[in-house]
Amino acid sequence: MVKINWTTQAKNDLISIAEYIGQNSKKYARIQIKRIRERTRQLREHPNSGREVPELDNPRIRELILDNYRIIYCLVSDERVDILTVHHSARLLDL
């Protein structure tokens, strides 16, 4: 089973998402963060399940899509995946 490591950037992204959504609904903010975290759980068993990030030329950098969010991660090793960022698809990607 692969270990999922959330980088500082990814954790900060979750905080920002929760704060933004929470301006309108604290309940929905909690639900959305939970959904994002649950989406990444599939990486434990299937780390290659995400697609390669089209803007980057690196097969180790992949993404999962959830609604308008791109969950971008790196295949660090056979035992570890790093979640790099959780990015709203309306914004330009800057890694």
Domains belonging to the chain, first-starting first, are 3-88 (3.30.2310.20)
Residue 21's Cβ-count burial label (10 Å; 0-12, 13-18, 19+) is middle
Report pLDDT digits (tens) over 73-83.
999 999 999 99
Does pLDDT of 2 surpass 90?
yes
User: C-alpha distances in angstroms, 59 versus 19, 24, 38, 52?
Assistant: 32, 38, 23, 6
pLDDT one-digit tens code per residue, 16-75: 999 999 999 999 999 999 999 999 999 999 999 999 998 888 999 999 999 999 999 999
